[in-house]
């Protein structure tokens, strides 16, 4: 029997929880919903040189994928 994919409420709950990592985990600069093999994921962007081992491999049943932000982010003037 195939595993059911999480509903939108589960994805929203996972994203809300993962957004806390922006303040709590050094190097996390972004969190968003992604997709792998047709199923939703929680994608987390980190600056190079930070330890992704601080993040879980799953959050509320959704896989967590760590992405490279490509470097430190600098605020841009308006």
From 21, 70, 63, 39, select the one nearest 31 (Cα to Cα): 21
d(CA 45, CA 55): 11
Q: Which residue has the tokens 């047709």?
A: 38
Per DSSP, the residues of 49-68 read: TS-GGGS-SEETTEEEEEEE
Confidence of residue 77 (pLDDT cuts 50, 70, 90): confident
Sequence-ordered list of residues with C-beta below 8 angstroms from that of 71, at least 6 positions apart, any chain: 47, 48
| Lookup: tokens for 42 | 């929680």
For the stretch 9-39, pLDDT in tens is 899 999 999 999 999 999 999 999 999 999 9
* Domain locations along the chain: 29-69
């Amino acid at each position: 029997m195939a595993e059911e994919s999480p509903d939108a409420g589960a994805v929203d709950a996972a994203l809300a929880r993962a957004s806390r990592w922006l303040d709590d985990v050094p190097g996390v600069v972004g969190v968003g919903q992604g997709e792998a093999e047709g199923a939703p994921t929680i994608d987390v962007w980190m600056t190079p040189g930070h330890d992704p081992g601080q993040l879980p491999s799953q959050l509320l049943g959704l896989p967590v994928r760590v992405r490279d932000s490509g470097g430190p982010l600098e605020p841009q003037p308006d």
